[in-house]
Amino acid sequence: EVHLVQSGAEVKKPGESLKISCKGSGYRFTSQWIGWVRQMPGKGLEWMGIIYPYDSDAKYNPSFQGQVTISADKSISTVYLQWSSLKASDTAMYFCARQRDGYLVVFDLWGQGTLVTVSS
Partner 1 sequence: EIVLTQSPGTLSLSPGERATLSCRASQSVSNTYLAWYQQKPGQAPRLLIFGESTDFRRATGIPDRFSGGGSGTDFTLTISRLEPEDIGVYYCQQYGRSPWTFGQGTKVEIQ
Binding site for partner 1 (CB under 8 A): 37, 44-47, 59, 61-63, 95, 97, 100, 104-108, 110-113
Q: CA-CA distance, 17 to 28, in Å (whole number)?
A: 31
Least Å from the CB of residue 95 to partner 1: 6
List Cα–Cα distances, 19 to 9, 80, 108, in angstroms: 11, 6, 24
Task: State phi, psi for 88 to the nearest 5 degrees.
Answer: -60, -30
Least Å from the CB of residue 25 to partner 1: 16
Nearer to partner 1, 29 or 95 (CB): 95
Least Å from the CB of residue 75 to partner 1: 26
Nearer to partner 1, 10 or 74 (CB): 10
- Quick one: how far is CA 25 from the chain centroid? 16
